[in-house]
Amino acid sequence: MAQGFGAAIRGRHSPMDADDVRAAYQRQARTYDSLFGLVSRQARQEAIAAVNRLPAETVLEVGVGTGLALPHYNPEKRITGIDLSHHMLEQARERVAALGLHHVEALLEMDAQATSFPAASFDAAVAMFVASVVPDPHLLVRELRRVVKPGGTILFVNHFAREHGPIWWAERALAPASSLLGWHPDFRLGHIFTPADLATAKIRDLRPLGLFRLVELPN
């Protein structure tokens, strides 16, 4: 559920549940690509480029959404996409069929916090603009660590809130609208990563304006 303004000002992050997520993305499925899809385009491209540079063959994309990233993976990668939202997945399936994307092995309706994949199923996993949307980001990291092989890589691209400055104020002002937006503007690195994660992670600001950051976590 959306958090109150007071909690937002204190910088507390309160989760949306799975039904909030499904409802938010049912509303957005048809407009997503031309609205948020556009704002996030550059950062998504940088994340895909980072995936393409990995030696990984099997890649799990969690919160695959409308499948905006799918045409841009190197064709030798084998991509499995999962999402909670049936409506977003429908758009992704249409894209895969229309573009004949043979490197997409499966698109499945599944919760990224508790998948049905056996342990060590993938060489890499990527979560683009998902960390601040899932009901429990810690469960997300734990599940991705389980399904990615030891020695593999887990990538996150997301907006992570600043600790101070004008953007910090804007993030807190937007926070009460999180259920409507379908993501948390006041979501911080510490809401998802432990200090041990952060000690080994590579973190890079992305264009435009460092609004998004790419986090590469060795598994």
Dig out the tokens for 3 from the structure.
Answer: 């958090």
Nearer to ligand SAM, 9 or 58 (CB): 58
Identity of the residue, 46 or 105, whose beta carbon is nearer to ligand SAM in the bound complex: 46
Indicate the residue whose CB is closest to ligand SAM. 65
Q: Shortest Cβ distance from residue 146 to ligand SAM (Å)?
A: 14
3-state class percentages of the chain: helix first, strand second, coil last, to nearest 5: 40, 20, 40
Q: How far is the CB of 195 from ligand SAM (least distance, A)?
A: 24
Contact 70, 137 (CB under 8 A): no
Task: Give contact residues for ligand SAM (rule: CB under 6 A).
Answer: 21, 25, 37, 44, 62-65, 68-69, 82-85, 88, 111-113, 128-130, 133-134, 183
Question: Closest separation between CB of residue 182 and ligand SAM, Å?
Answer: 6
92 secondary structure, DSSP code: H
Distance CA 58, CA 118 (A): 14
Cβ(149)–Cβ(219) under 8 Å? yes
CB closer to ligand SAM out of 163 and 180: 180
